[in-house]
Structure 1
């Protein structure tokens, strides 16, 4: 069973989410919290797999609550939910440690799909939102001048040699290829086709990349790849 905690200050919203989620076999709503502070306490006691977290709440908002939850080891995945399509909420949620972001205007099946994704250890952002993440976090193109996709150490825009992050040396060639394709927004299925391997193998490569680089999920793998010059914006 996937254990789910709902955190929202509106009782009707929580009731609606519970109705949607409990209609899915294998889902169990183990608790409901009315604000972020209550959510943090219940998360520690109930140990859910996924938390559906509202952004704006009294006492403690969802961003602060997510930071507190994500600070713990082996913490549950947090799906941020909001009625506001605002980029500051999106980026603040990702920085706080959320693994997914969904508008409350989404269809019920999208909520179910999102919880399934987070329960599997995946992250959830639409391709459109992923592009917004890349645009926000990517290193400017000019900083990549003279820099190879795999950090070949050639001189950069400032004339100094580019120095690869030591963590990249821990990746195998296949894992580097996987990271590069992740950064370009490819799904596991698309990566499998490009590398001529099975999706199970791709999942293993993705897991190894996240582990070796100390990255929480696919979204942050994209951010990491752009910040460290593995791939340049627009490439």
Structure 2
């Protein structure tokens, strides 16, 4: 099971992502956060395999939260999401350790493709 932390200040998007991810076998949303401070705290406690990270949030943005999470959990995959699709936003996230970036409008349709690219293939049982 791939444990996922969803971080976004938009409750509707968090609900949508939780629904999409929990319907797919092998994926489970284990926590949600509305800002970077809560995300950093939850990541430390829950130790997710994947964090879906919004960039623009109050209290602590996704860039700083990504930096903190990657320092604490270097093997956790962080996928940045933003309404702002500029190269600067993606570059800022990647500079602090994000593995991938998706514009928010593409998240529902592309998230499983990006996860497949970022996660190791499952080990077959013998």
Note closer, same or farther for the CA distance 1:61–1:22 as it changes in structure 2 (3 Å cut).
Answer: same
Larger Rg: 1
- TM-score normalized with structure 2 length: 0.90
Superposed displacement of residue 23, structure 1: 1.7
**Residue 93 of structure 1 aligns to a residue in which SS?**
helix
Structure 2 residue aligned with 1:8: 8
1:40–1:68 Cα contact (<8 Å) kept: yes
Structure 2 residue aligned with 1:110: 110
Structure 1 CA distance for aligned equivalents of residues 107 and 74 of structure 2: 30
Note closer, same or farther for the CA distance 1:107–1:81 as it changes in structure 2 (3 Å cut).
Answer: closer
Matched, 1:23 2:23: yes
- Correspondence 1:91-130 to 2 at 5 A: 91-106=91-106, 108-120=108-120
Structure 2 CA distance for aligned equivalents of residues 92 and 74 of structure 1: 17
Higher strand fraction: Structure 1 or Structure 2? Answer: 2
Structure 1 moving runs of 4+ over 4 Å: none
* Alignment: residue pair count: 121
Unpaired runs of 5+ residues, structure 1, are: 122-235
Structure 1 CA distance for aligned equivalents of residues 51 and 97 of structure 2: 12
Calculate the aligned-residue CA RMSD, in Å.
1.5
Matched, 1:79 2:79: yes
Unpaired runs of 5+ residues, structure 2, are: 122-126
- TM-score normalized with structure 1 length: 0.49
**Residue 71 of structure 1 aligns to a residue in which SS?**
helix
Superposed displacement of residue 17, structure 1: 0.8
Structure 2 CA distance for aligned equivalents of residues 73 and 105 of structure 1: 28
1:35–1:61 Cα contact (<8 Å) kept: yes
Residues 111-155 of structure 1, C-alpha deviations (whole Å, 9 max, x = no match)? 12212332228xxxxxxxxxxxxxxxxxxxxxxxxxxxxxxxxxx
